[in-house]
Structure formats: C-alpha cells, structure tokens
Structure 1
Amino acid sequence: MDAALIEAAIEVLSESGWAAFTTTAVARRAGASTASLYRRWPSKQALAGAVARHIAVNELSGIDAGSLESDVRELLTRKKRILEAATGPALLSLMGQAAHDPELRQILHDDVYLAVREQLETVIAQAVRRGELKDAVDTAQMDVLTLVVIGTTLARSVFLAPQNTDKGTAADAVDLAEIELQLLLSVLARAGASVTAT
C-alpha cells in the first residue's frame, strides 16, 4: 500500500502540480481510503517528503562504477533519468512550491539536497580511497557542488526547450551532458588536488 500511495502521489504531482495535490486525489488514484493515507502521512507536506525520499533513495544510492569519472557520469545519468520520468515534473512541482512553504522547503532540504550531497561525498571518498584524489572536498565547496549537480538539469528543464528526438538535437543533448561532466571533474580535480588524469 505504501508503494501504491507513493506512485499515485508522483502521478498526481506530475499531472496536476502542487495546487491539485491533495490527500483525497492521491488516495483516490491509489484506490485507497484517505484514512489509510493519513495513518502513514499526517499532511500533504509529509506525503511530499515521502515522495522526495523515494525518488532520492531509489535513484541516487549505491553508485560505485570503479572510477571518479564513471561515478560522476553515473550520478548525472541517474539525475537525468529522474527528471525525464514522471518523477521529474513531480519534483519540479515540489521545488517550485517550496519557496512559499517553509515546511516543504525543509523536507526537500533533508530528502533531496542532503541525499545528493551524501552521494557526492561517497563518490569523492571512493576516489580518495582509489588514489584518484588526494583529499576530500571542503564543506563550502561541497555545498556549491551539490547545488550545481541539482541545479543544472533543473535549470535546463525550466529555461531551455525540451530536446527533440531528431539527430541534431539529440547530439546537442549529449554534448551538454558531456560538458557538465567534464566541468564537474575539473572542479573536483582542483578541489581535491587530483593525482591522476581523468
């Protein structure tokens, strides 16, 4: 039932946005009672937090592809997958509303920002253990890196037209992803005093 309610919440957010995101709409979509939903989450903000947690934990955890470059590439690939699936519009809707809702802002900080930051810290720690970086990244640099990883694809989804599937625009999308990867690797190399070439 938890999984059905979470999936229903993602669908309602994706299709209708925060304004239409009600516990009644989610329960109806899941074929459940509102009482069963309230037993799990006492408010729609709490349900939104469960959605954010579900997205972050399911998609961002457990990255270890064998090298710093491969790990960062995998992180960016997973971020892209989140935003291209139904979870993308749901997450964008929550982030848009967070500016006006302190409770929701705190939930997204705890369940999205900190999840991305934790995964970045893990990727960097793995690179240090492998000898690809000499040192971990300091706190201020980690704050900015986390915002960059979250922000680039979100900004692209808001400010740039969606990519078409024809050959030219598909190639452009690949180029943008590769540029983002190389910029992040360059920053990590400087911040962590890289001892190997990427």
Structure 2
Amino acid sequence: MRSDEPVRDPAEGTGGRTRRPRRRAAEVERAVLLAAVEELTEKGYDGFTMDRVAARAGTNKTAIYRRWPSRTSLAFAAYKRMVAWPGSPPDTGDLRSDVVELLRSAVDRMSSPMEAELLRGLTMDARREPEVMAGLREELGRGEPGTMLAIVARAVARGEARQEALLPRIATLPIVLLRNEYLMLGSLGPISDATIAEIVDQVFLPLVRPR
C-alpha cells in the first residue's frame, strides 16, 4: 500500500468508508468549547442544546458528557471563554480614569442582550447544580485579577495607590461590586455613570489611596 493511500477500517471491507483520524482529547475539548461559544452566540441560552453542540463540533454527546456532565456546566465553560477582557488594560495616566473606563467597558458587555440572557439563564439553572453555582459565583467575583492588578500596579508606581492595594481581593473590588450590582441586585438596563462613580469614589479610591 502506498503511504498516501487512505486507511480503511478492516471491519468495513473494501467498500467501507475511509476512517477519520481519531482526535486527541484536547482537540475534542477545544472543538466542543468553540462550538458551544458559537451556539450560545447564535441561538442564545434558551436555544442551547447538547445535540447542536455535538453536531457542530463533529463529535457525539457521550464525549461531551465525559467532560461536562450537564448542559449548564458546558454553557458555563463556554461563558468563561466569552467574557475575557479584550485588549490591554486602560492606561490614561490616572487611576480614577483607568478604573472608570474599565467599568464602562464592562457595563457595555454585561448590558448586551445576549450576555444578560446567558447570565440569567445560567444563574437559574445553576441553582440545581451546586458545583456550577460555586464556579459561577467565583467567576463573577474574581474581576479579572490580571487586568485590575495591572491598573493598580501602575497607580502604585505613580504614587496614587498604596503597595498593599496590590492584593487581588482589593484590586478587583470595583469589578466585583459592578457585577454584584448587575446580577445579584437585579438591575434592569445599563448601570448608570452615577453608580460607577459611587463604586470608584466612595469605595475603591478611599481604600487604595496613600494614607
């Protein structure tokens, strides 16, 4: 047999189909997550199904359930891929301006109809799945530590913030409070600039400024 001839499954005989190369587990996982993100983007959370994800990823539901035991857990994994902050942290040369710009960008994302539906659907369904709910709360509370820590580190170098502010729990507080305002308190519609100003001026800046 020439090396460039297709490999056939012996069980199928000479008339069988060419056997597709077996993908590695990591490749299947990437394909499923990409398919899940695309399905959520196109169909929304209500239209999100394991059957559609499996078909789009070119795999079967059994392979998906081995990694994600439920529709909710897969949707949550896809959500984490969808919400990474785009681009570099704001760098205006002023701590307050950097944080306000970042929060406004977050409001724009969280106020989109797609993300609003996804977060509400995930929150409702995750109540029946404690592990997913714990992960969702952690995700909503972590506030992109790398982004906020970069902003605060520049502020420390400029003398606008204390060195002690470079703790993730402190640096990420503005995003934590913003997401809590949006999700846990049931805010409807875009969060106002006044709310952003309260978070930054009344809570965050007094906490991190040099004393």
Q: Is the 8 A contact 1:116 1:150 kept in 2?
A: no
Match of 1:192 in 2: 208
Assess, with a 3 A threshold, how the Cα gap between structure 1 residues 129 and 68 changes in structure 2: closer, same or farther: same
Does structure 1 retain, via aligned residues, the 8 Å contact 2:89–2:151?
A: yes
Structure 1 unmatched runs, 5+? 163-172
Calculate the aligned-residue CA RMSD, in Å. Answer: 3.4
| Match in the other structure for 2:35 | 4
Q: Measure, in 2, the Cα distance between the counterparts of 1:40 and 1:128.
A: 46
User: Superposed, which structure 2 residues align to 1:1-198 within 5 Å?
Assistant: 1=31, 2-12=33-43, 14-16=44-46, 21-28=48-55, 30=56, 32-35=58-61, 38=64, 41-43=67-69, 44-57=71-84, 59=85, 62-66=88-92, 67-85=94-112, 86-137=114-165, 145-154=174-183, 158-160=186-188, 162=189, 177-186=192-201, 187-194=203-210
Offset, 1:8: 0.7
With over 3 angstroms needed to count, the CA separation of the structure-2 counterparts of 1:62 and 1:50, relative to structure 1, is farther
**5+ long unaligned stretches in structure 2:** 1-30
1:63·1:74 contact (CA, 8 Å) conserved in 2?
no
SS across alignment from 1:63: coil
Give deviations 1:98-137, integer Å, cap 9, x for gaps: 3332111232244342244554344323322222223444
Q: Structure 1 residues 151, 3: closer, same or farther in 2, change over 3 A?
A: same
Deviation at 1:53, TM superposition (A): 1.6
Larger Rg: 2
| Structure with the higher fraction of residues in helix conformation | 1
Identity rate of aligned residues, in percent? 19
CA contact (8 A) 2:72 2:122 kept: no
Count of residues in Structure 1 that have an aligned counterpart in Structure 2: 175
Partners of 1:40 and 1:54 in 2: CA distance: 19
Contact 1:69–1:185 (CA under 8 A) maintained in structure 2: yes
CA distance in 2, matches of 1:194, 1:132: 7
2:144/2:172 contact within 8 Å kept: no
Does the 8 Å CA contact 1:23/1:37 hold for their aligned counterparts? no
Letter in 2 for 1:7: E
